[in-house]
A and B are shown apart, each in its own frame.
Chain A
Amino acid sequence: MPKLIKGVGCPYCGSSCDDIEVLVSDDETKILEVHNACIIGTNLFHHANDPTRPKLPRRRQPDGTMKEIPYDEAIDYMAKTMLAAKKPLIYGFGSTNCEGMSAVARIAEKSGAVLDNCATICHGPSFLAIFDNGYPSCTLGEAKNRADVVVFWGCNPMHAHPRHTSRYSIFPRGYFTQKGAMQRTVLSIDPRETDTAKLADVHLMLDQGHDYELFDAFRTVLRGHDIPDVVAGIPKETIIKSVEIMKNAKFCMIFFGMGCTHTDGRNHNIDAAISLTRDLNEHTKASIMAMRGHYNIAGPGQVWAWQFGFPYCIDLSKGTHAHMNPGETSSVDLAMRDEVDCFVNVGADAGAHFPIQPVQHLKKHPFITVDPNFNMASEISDLHIPVRIAGVDEPGVVYRMDNVPIQFRAVIKGLPGVPSDEELFNKVYERMCELTKTEPIWLAAKEDRRYPESEAVI
């Protein structure tokens, strides 16, 4: 009898939908059907059925081919390589659970590494703006129940977060928003006519890269001053009309994405958006939220900020303190400046997501990928270590885009012999301690997290 598992979390986008239903085979090894998820989430679950999924680490041979090796050998290679490097870089963690992120921090500290996550090429600038200007944010539940004006600034949830609009932002009927989409006014600020922009009541098609000026114009109008006739390609009347909509809202919710964080100015665009939100609160209630990309990309920010005091770009090479300064300690900058001599890519695809030059620089040195699947990074790696898929065959805590923790569950049994990220990193840490003749320190919030499932997994 196949089993229907309800209340499953989806390991795809930052919406982290937790209403998925998965039908699994009797022996809990195959996923048969996925209900409620978007097409990407559905496929992500079905990927776990792929019979070609790697089951053993693969090490690059002198002739360039990849050869399967036992886990112990891979763990030994990873430990030795990271200890030998002057400054290893550990990057990724968009798609793994918080337990893995917590465990990797031990090996980062032990090997004097730089610990970075996908935010560095995504919402990292939002963090910088939050440092500078605060974060007047709320949860997605509040957005759903209260927001009657929703602004999508430089983001396109119809493609990037397919169920965001139906679960939280445009269509759902909430406590104070019982008419759903009928009651909501949607503004889209995007240089392209995206599918989200097509849904919007007002679309401000601004000149690409001029978000900062437009935010400033919004704020200037809000304070009752005059602005030039055209700002960032938008006529004054449209800006005034948009400000009126936002000002007259009962609750104005601003969602922002890559269009703000990765155009010129970066953190300053978000900084201005946060200032705008604060200004709006003089007139009505307003809140702002980053459209985080992966289902648990808010996780490393939470976990590492608790462990080291910084959410990303954490340079632990001094051994005495953590240093963080994006521009210097961010992955792409480190790679471009040849400042690292070992690269570990975990649960992300640096091969596909980094510009080509940093990848070329990183390839001069040992390149290790820890990922359940074959991807571009794994194919150029010197060592590829497969792990279980968090949220599919490995449970764990994830943080949704509004920093709400959700316990994800495993729906099927993991591949035999394949460890989770946490188990793998704990083994690497133990090996590093053996090599350096030191005692492992297992300080953890939950002591039982050391080997969660079984001792004999590897």
Chain B
Amino acid sequence: MATVTLKPTKVPELMFEGYSITPDAFAGKTAAQIAELPGHEGKIHMKLGDFFEVSGNAGETAADTDIVIAGDCTRVKYIGARMTAGTVTVNGNADMYVGGWMKGGKIHIKGNMDSFCGIQMEGGELLCDGDAKNHVGCAYRGDWRGMKGGTIRIKGSAGNDIGTFMLGGTIIIEKNAFIHVSTHAEGGTVVIKGDVEGRVGGQMVRGEMYVLGKIKFMMPGYKKVDTVEKEIDGVKATFDHYIGDLGERHPKSKGQVVYANLYLKAAA
């Protein structure tokens, strides 16, 4: 494994679109070649070298390349977007589209992330030690095919629109979330370990949701069917099992109507 270290040298005046910061773009390049990779600040064509000091050469393939950003990327978009293998570690915050459309590899953000992280993700792992803003693992505007695979784990809280139009994969929010969890989803699993304001599973066709805290406003289209013992992400508990969204269309499988399942931790 070869490690490429990017040290931020300048804060972009606008936002820097660092769509080249992926192991795929770096693979097979020397530090000097990596510094020449393109990016955008508004309409201006920039180079990675304009904002980062690059050290270390990349591995032969994306899978052999580790990228470490030794500093804050609050104003850098598209880190690890569309990557297929390798790792990216950011020792600070990151802006929008972290791991968007990613197919494989691993991203670790040690600070907070902005919106649209992991949108349309198809595989790989996205880990964030801080909070994420809105549209975690969501679909791009107008696309009915959202996140298809992979894992997103946010150790802090997240905003609204988590896993909209989700088809597969797992999203784990270790603290709280605001509104709209798995809206329109047709698969996948969302685990929220804290509290949610509301709108959990609106218009959801199928898929699983686990809420270990409280839901302040329950969707009227969910009906409690039973109480079950389940283990999810290392937590074993008794859950109230709801099915829904009864207001939405639902397909049939083997003669049975398929509903989305919401497991809400039962009050002790």
State the A residues within 8 Å of B (CB). 85-87, 111-112, 128, 131-132, 210, 212-213, 216-220, 222-223, 225-228, 231, 264-265, 268, 271-272, 275, 279, 317-319, 324-328, 337-341
Contacts and interface: CB of A to CB of B under 8 A. Distances in A.
Best-buried of A216, A220, A228, A325 by chain B (most CB within 10 Å): A216
Interface of B: 13-15, 40-44, 96, 115-116, 134-135, 140-142, 144, 160-161, 165, 179-180, 183-184, 198-199, 202-203, 217-221, 223, 245-248
A213 B41 contact: no
A219 B248 contact: yes
Contacts of A225: 221, 223, 246-247
B116 A327 contact: yes
Given A271-B203, A328-B115, A132 B180 contact: no
Given A85-B42, A86-B42, A217-B221, 9 more contacts: A86-B43, A210-B217, A220-B247, A225-B246, A228-B220, A265-B160, A319-B43, A339-B14, A340-B42
Contacts of B43: 86-87, 111-112, 317-319
Given A128-B141, A337-B15, A264 B221 contact: no
Contacts of B198: 213
Given A212-B199, A213-B219, A328-B96, A86 B246 contact: no
Contacts of A265: 160, 179-180, 199
A220 B220 contact: yes
A324 B15 contact: no
- Give the secondary structure class of A's interface: loop
B202 A216 contact: yes
B70 to A, nearest CB: 24
Contacts of A339: 14-15
A86 B217 contact: no
A450 B200 CA distance: 53
Contacts of B161: 268
30 contacts: A85-B42, A86-B14, A86-B43, A112-B42, A131-B141, A132-B144, A132-B184, A213-B198, A216-B219, A216-B245, A217-B221, A220-B245, A222-B247, A225-B223, A225-B246, A225-B247, A226-B223, A265-B160, A265-B179, A272-B203, A275-B247, A317-B40, A317-B42, A317-B43, A318-B40, A318-B43, A325-B116, A325-B141, A337-B15, A340-B42
Given A213-B217, A228-B220, A318-B43, A325 B180 contact: no
B245 A340 contact: no
Nearest to B134: A327
Nearest to A224: B246
B247 A223 contact: yes
B203 A275 contact: yes
B12 to A, nearest CB: 10
Contacts of B217: 210, 213
Contacts of B140: 325
- Give the secondary structure class of B's interface: loop
B15 A231 contact: no
Nearest to A266: B160
B191 to A, nearest CB: 21
Contacts of A132: 141-142, 144, 165, 184
A219 B42 contact: no
B202 A212 contact: yes
A86 B43 CA distance: 5
Nearest to A340: B14
A212 B204 CA distance: 13
Given A86-B41, A131-B142, A217-B221, A341 B13 contact: yes
A213 B142 contact: no
A225 B218 CA distance: 16
A213 B141 contact: no
A341 B221 contact: no
Contacts of B165: 132
Contact of A341 (B14, B96, B142): B14
Contact of B221 (A86, A87, A220, A324): A220
Contacts of A226: 223
Nearest to B139: A132
Nearest to A221: B247
Nearest to B199: A212
A285 B186 CA distance: 28
Nearest to B140: A325
Nearest to A328: B96
Given A86-B44, A265-B179, A219 B247 contact: yes
Contacts of B183: 268, 271
Contacts of A228: 218, 220
Best-buried of A219, A222, A228 by chain B (most CB within 10 Å): A219
B13 A268 contact: no
Given A86-B14, A213-B199, A325-B116, A219 B221 contact: yes
Contacts of A212: 199, 202
